[in-house]
Amino acid sequence: MARRKHIATGCRTCSGRGYLISPENGQYARAEICDCVSECSECGGSGTVFLENERGYRYLERCGLCGITRLKVRRYNNAKIPSKFVDVLRSDDIDPREPDQSQYAAMSYVKSFVDKYPKEKGFLLMGGPGVGKTRLAVGAIAELTLQKAVECVFTDFFFLLADLRKAYSEGIPENEIIGPLITAEILVIDEMGKGKSSEWEQNILDQLISKRYNSSKKTLVTTNYVARESLPRRSAARTEILEDRVGERIASRLYEMCIPLFIKGSDYRKGDISS
Ligand SMILES: [Zn+2]
Ligand SMILES: [Zn+2]
């Protein structure tokens, strides 16, 4: 059976993408299958078709016409992207408030991470608030889910700690919280270091990071803190160190598995990281 790669090329509603991003609504960003795909001529909208092998056995397979579009939409919806980032669909989709060289360098690494996936290392985006770190990380997973159907999960560090504490107080094993984060192909941990973590929490986070490291999974991290190795030589005294927030083990592991990208902002403007 000939497989047509593109569907709905002529659809004006979705410009041939096969999906639409829903307007901001609810907790997470959502995509929907466009009508031009849901009324698929090949599978009647079920997303699967029966095929027959040479011995006459019939088996169920993903529809060659719409199946991949359905998978991409499912991946996007399962990524738990906060709905305020619903407009971010590309990794270079940020609107730099104070564009500078470090911002463009970060953007170009993130773009190549997406384009060459899974060849490039994950990244650790450091820098003050408002420099576009989260938008860059969200742009990467929006693109990877919608273009390449990669399984991605976004998690907020502060909420993750809260979930762990809640699970502990309710007697729920912490694995129920971190299990899906360990297995996701790509994990975004946003705002790492926000909220002081206890030793117990750091141990669980260390397990999460180590297990991902050992199975060569990509982890994308944003933080307002700076890893000691990336500290500008003449840093301002108020600069806070990532190690002080999450412990040495986690920070050094992140350094092994991620490319450090330091985005300058007004807080760090006086630092000189190029030397
Ligand atoms: Zn359409
Ligand atoms: Zn179909």
Tracing tokens 């000691």 back to the chain, one arrives at: 228
**Residue range 85-262 in CATH 3.40.50.300:** yes
- Comparing C-alpha atoms, which of 185, 133, 140 is closest to residue 157? 133
Cα 63 to ligand 2 centroid, rounded to whole Å: 5
Nearest-angstrom CA–CA distance, 136 and 90 = 8
User: pTM higher than 0.75 for the full model?
Assistant: yes
DSSP state of 67: H
The whole-number pLDDT of residue 269 equals 34
- For the chain, the farthest-separated pair of C-alpha atoms sits apart, in whole angstroms, at 74
**Which pLDDT score, from 0 to 100, does residue 233 have?**
66
What was the pLDDT predicted at 94?
59
* Axis-axis angle for helices 157-169, 175-183 (nearest 10): 140
For the chain (275 residues), the mean pLDDT of every run of 10, in chain order, is: 52 93 93 92 92 93 95 97 93 63 90 96 93 94 97 97 95 94 98 90 94 96 88 66 91 94 63 37
Q: Is the Cα dihedral 232, 256, 258, 118 positive or negative?
A: positive
Ligand closest in space to the Cα of 68: 2
Which two structure tokens, joined as six digits, stand for 117?
Answer: 């996936």
Residue 7: closest CA among 72, 58, 88, 60: 72
All CATH 3.40.50.300 domain ranges of the chain, comma separated, are 85-262
Distance from the alpha carbon of residue 35 to the mean position of ligand 1, in angstroms: 6
Expressed in angstroms and rounded, the spacing between residue 19 Cα and the centre of ligand 1 is 6
pLDDT, position 204 = 93
The ligand that comes nearest to the alpha carbon of residue 61 is 2
Ligand number with the minimum distance to the CA of 20: 1
CA of 272 to the centre of ligand 1 (A): 49
- The length of the chain is 275
Q: Kindly give the distance from the C-alpha atom of residue 146 to the centroid of ligand 2, in angstroms, as a whole number.
A: 17
Look at residue 226 in the predicted model and tell me its pLDDT: 87
CA distance 248 to 50: 54
Q: Which phi and psi angles does 19 have, rounded to 5°?
A: -140, 165
Question: What pLDDT was estimated at residue 272?
Answer: 39
Residue type, 79: A
User: The tokens of 8 are what?
Assistant: 């709905």
CA 41 to ligand 1 center in whole angstroms: 13
Q: pLDDT per residue over 47-86, tens digit each? A: 999 999 999 999 999 999 999 999 999 999 999 999 999 9
- Are β-strands 258-262 and 122-126 bridged in parallel, bridged antiparallel, or unpaired? parallel
62 CA distance to ligand 1 centroid (A)? 19
Ligand nearest to the CA of 47: 2
In three state form, how does the secondary structure of 159-225 look?
Answer: HHHHHHHHHHHCCCCCHHHHHHHHHCCEEEEECCCCCCCCHHHHHHHHHHHHHHHHCCCEEEEEECC
Q: Which ligand is nearest the CA of 10, by number?
A: 1
| 246, 166 Cβ separation under 8 angstroms | no
Determine how many CB atoms are found less than 10 A away from the CB of residue 179.
13
